[in-house]
Every structure is written in C-alpha cells, then in structure tokens.
Amino acid sequence: MAAEVRWLFIFHVFSVIYAVLGEIPHRKFEYKYSFKPPYLAQKDGSVPFWEYGGNAIASAENVRVAPSLRSQKGAIWVKQPVAFDWWEVELIFRVTGRGRIGADGLAFWYTRSKGAYNGTVFGSSDQWNGLGIFFDSFDNDNKHNNPYIMAVLNDGTKTFDHTNDGTTQLSTGCLRDFRNKPFATRAKIEYYQNTLTVLFHNGMTNNEQDYEMCFRVENIALPKGGYFGVSAATGGLADDHDVSHFLTHSLYPPGQLRSEGQKVSVEEQEKLSQEYLDYQKKLDQQKEEYRRDHPNEHREKEEFEEYFETDNQRELRQIFSGQSQMFDALRELNRKLDEIVGRQERSLSLISQLQVGGVPSSGQPGQPMQLIDTIRRQEVDTILGNQNAILNTAREIKSYVNEVYTKSDTILNNQARAPTAQVQPMGYDYQSLISEMRDGLNAVKRDVGHVATKLNTGGTDCPTTNCLTTTMFLIFVAIQMVILLAYSTYRDNKEAQAKKLY
C-alpha cells in the first residue's frame, strides 16, 4: 500500500511539473534590443543599436543615465522598434547617493514613439502612449511611501500627477527599497499574453535568482512596434542612476517557434559540421608538425585526457544537468504558486469591495477595479510581526517579575533562618538622634562658656548686653534639630532603598 501511495505521489508531482513546463514560453535573446558590459560603449562613446542624450553618459561598464548633480535629466532609447509581441526585459541598475533621501528616480519605458531626453517625467516626455514603470525614490506627497515601484499606463492624453506621485494614475505597484544596496538591484519585467509581471531583486544578496514578486497585472494592451527606453532625473536632491544591463528576450508560445527553429538548426548544423571538420584537419596537421619538431616528448595520453571526458565525468555531467532542470522546474512551480496566491488575494479583495460598494475605475475597459482601504499581504505580515513582538516582550517582563519574586522570597527565608540577617526598622533611629542632639547641646554650652569667659575677662565683643539671649538660643536649637531630623530621614530612606535591591 505504501509503495502504491509513493508512486501515486510521484506521478502527481511529475504531472504538475509537466503542466508547468508545458506553459513556459520559448525565449530568444534579442541582442539588437540589449546592452551589457564589458565594452558597452564603443571608443567614440556610442552604444550599438541605442542612442542616448541629455545628461546621460555611456562608459564601457554602464550607462549613467543621470549623475548625482542637481536638476539633471537623461535617457537612452533603442533605435529600432520592437518586432515581436511578447517580451521579457531584465534590468540591472544601481541608485546610489550620499543623502538619506534620494531623488528623483529611474523609469523603464515601452512606448509607441521615443520620448525626449530631458522631459518632465523622470527625464522623458509626458503624455506618453504605452507603459512606464517608475522606480520613484522621492516622496512628493509626503506620505512616507517611497521608494516605490509603480506601473502607469497612458494613452497619450493624460498628464502625470507629480503632486501625488502618480498614485491616482498607477495600475499597481509595490513598496521596495532599491537605493544604496551592496549588490546591484534587478528588475525582471515580463509582458506575455496581455499580462504584465514585475519581479524584483533587492540587491542584498549576490544570488542572481533571488527574485520576489512585485506585482502582476492582467488585461494589459500595449501598442505593437513600440520602443524600449530608460530615463532618470534628479531635483534638489541627487543620486547616481546607473544601468549596467538591459537584456531583452522575445517570448513565443510553446510550439510556435518550433518549425522555424528546426529549419534554422538544420542549416546551422551543416555549417557547423563543415567548420568542425576543417578545424579537425587543422588540429591533426598541427599535432603532426609538433610531433615532428619535438620527437622526444610524448603527450598523447595527456592530450587524450584533456580533450575527452571519461564515462564517470559524462555520467556526473548528465546527473547534474538533470538536477538543474528539476531545480528550474521547481522554482518555476514556486513562482506560479505565488501568482496563484496573489490572484486569490485580489479576488478576495474584489469580493470584499463589492460587498461594501466598490466602484470600478473609469477609463479604458479591462482595467482592474479600484479598491479602497483594502488590507494587503505585507500589512497582515506587519501586524502579525508586531503581535509576536508584543508577546515576546510580555514573556520577558513575566520572567523578570518571577525572577524578582524568587530573589525576594530567598532573601526573606535567609533572614528568617539566620539571626544575623536582620532587617533594620523603617522608622527613625531615635537613640542616635538623641545622642546627636546631646552632642549639639554640649557644643552650644561650650560656646556659651567661652563667651562668658570673654565677658568676665573684659572682652569688648558685647559691651552693653549679652551676645546670646534666650530667644536666639532656642531658635538655634530648633534649627539644629530640624537639620538633624532631615538628615536622619534622608539617611533612612537611602538605607531602605539600598535594602530593596537585595
């Protein structure tokens, strides 16, 4: 029975993996719509297949779209329009600055026409027709919700709302910090079958696959034959906005690219086979010449081991390849599950909004319903984290009170057992107080005696009357008693407080 359950579980796992792999589109790298180091810029400063302007600076390692100076704007746009419907762009960039707050931010564009190089929206033109994904690092509306990543669609007629940071126009977004990270931050933007997905890498690790879901929007219709671009701008505050990689892949549904790929692969295979034979002949000829020139050296065995692999190496390579494919499939399955969870959360939010009277957003048809005051997953996680912190603090306070109670009980037991461990009373020490008062009166008597002696011997300090009258004597005694009482009270309080600590 256990074996049957095990095989049934394995069958379901492989069925899910096959279903996931069956939906994965074919990817093809498009070098004419990409740039990356090294040798990103040529000697004349130009970037192949791209053009830039404004305050942008291109080097061999990256494109500094906007430098860390005030009121700088720049952009870089691809020269040719996009010739495929679905695409995926991996954007690797850095936003660094010395200030605690940065400005203004970076923008990824896919628009019907190229934008300006010194425009008003993150360095590009306003009233664009297409998609703009903004990495906004400045809090214009003072709501403490930046840095923020947002997707804004425009049909060419709307003006960007700078005052509210575009919150009234965005389709969706996520709160992520991308400034001053130890490693480069990454954004993977995918547009496939009218669904826009943005994955984000926060730059805290050097793992290239450490992406997390930022947002996913369905029913997005973008114009065909658009242009890719990246722009950035600074204001009163400034950051360096550097883009090192812009990697574009065209996406095709499964089975659509197979026939063309077979035709190309056959031609390429014949060409590569011929080149391989030519190189093989040249290699054999060079080997013969080397053996002829060095008859005393025999390295046939070393050369055989260097250029060929053993059976064990081949088996290990195949095992590693299979495990890598399984890991990729499981990672893709995890990503799909995250998307399913996100869809369920959005569906629950829509249902709750409809129950309280939600209103669809005005504009183009197909846009998602605008939600009001809905709780999000990160907010729930924050609330749970705060509750766990409160519970942990309460447990610590409880343990501390129990420890104090235990120590107090121990001290009382020790004092009860040992006769030397006696607690002094909390009241005043009347014996010491009386002795101190007696000493003070004796000192006063001595002073009076000295004065009387001086008077009897003819002193001139008090020629007419006595220097010390009865009233002055009583006032002096009363002041001294008050001082002694205050000192005794202060000392007893200090001793009582010191005893409480033990």
Per DSSP, the three-state class of 402 is helix
- The domain limits of the chain are 26-252
Q: Are 187 and 210 in contact (CB under 8 A)?
A: no
d(CA 370, CA 50): 38
Token pair of 119 as six digits: 């425009």
Domain 26-252 has CATH 3.50.30.40: no
Q: Is the pTM of this model over 0.75?
A: no
Residue 411 confidence (pLDDT): 79
Provide the H-helix boundaries in 181-310: 258-293, 300-307
Q: How much is the CA Rg of the chain, to the nearest whole Å? A: 42
**Greater model confidence, 199 or 4:** 199
- Confidence category of residue 391, pLDDT binned at 50, 70, 90: confident
**Greater model confidence, 356 or 92:** 92
**Greater model confidence, 18 or 467:** 467
Average pLDDT over residues 485-493: 83
d(CA 229, CA 50): 9
Q: Which of 272-276, 326-330, 391-395 has the lowest mean pLDDT?
A: 272-276
**Greater model confidence, 292 or 240:** 240
Residue 10 confidence (pLDDT): 57
- Confidence category of residue 302, pLDDT binned at 50, 70, 90: low
- Confidence category of residue 338, pLDDT binned at 50, 70, 90: confident
Q: Are 171 and 161 in contact (CB under 8 A)?
A: no
Residue 459 confidence (pLDDT): 53
Average pLDDT over residues 91-108: 89
Q: Which residues pair with 27 in a beta bridge?
A: 251
**Amino acid at site 272:** L
Per DSSP, the three-state class of 25 is coil
Q: Are 199 and 188 in contact (CB under 8 A)?
A: yes
Per-residue pLDDT of 427-471, as tens digits, reads 545 567 677 777 877 887 787 777 777 766 655 554 555 566 677
Per DSSP, the three-state class of 212 is strand
How far the first Cα of the chain sits from its last, in Å, is 67
Q: Which of 21-35, 103-117, 151-165 has the lowest mean pLDDT?
A: 21-35
Residue 267 confidence (pLDDT): 74
Q: Are 81 and 227 in contact (CB under 8 A)?
A: yes
Q: Are 128 and 154 in contact (CB under 8 A)?
A: yes
Per-residue pLDDT of 186-207, as tens digits, reads 999 999 999 999 999 999 888 8
Examine the pLDDT at 318 and tell me if it is beyond 60: yes
Q: What is the dihedral of CA 231, 236, 237, 239, to 10 degrees?
A: 30
Token pair of 304 as six digits: 């055989």
* Sign of the CA dihedral running 188, 191, 192, 194: positive
Q: Are 417 and 409 in contact (CB under 8 A)?
A: no
* Sign of the CA dihedral running 326, 329, 333, 335: positive
Distances from the Cα of 180 to the Cα of 91, 97, 204, 459, angstroms: 17, 7, 10, 89
Query: Omega before 210 cis (within 30°)?
Result: no
Per-residue pLDDT of 396-438, as tens digits, reads 888 888 888 888 778 777 766 765 444 444 454 556 767 777 7
Examine the pLDDT at 242 and tell me if it is beyond 90: yes
The H or E element containing residue 183 is none
Q: In whole numbers, what is the pLDDT of the chain averaged over residues?
A: 80
d(CA 191, CA 197): 7
- Confidence category of residue 251, pLDDT binned at 50, 70, 90: very high
Residue 363 confidence (pLDDT): 45
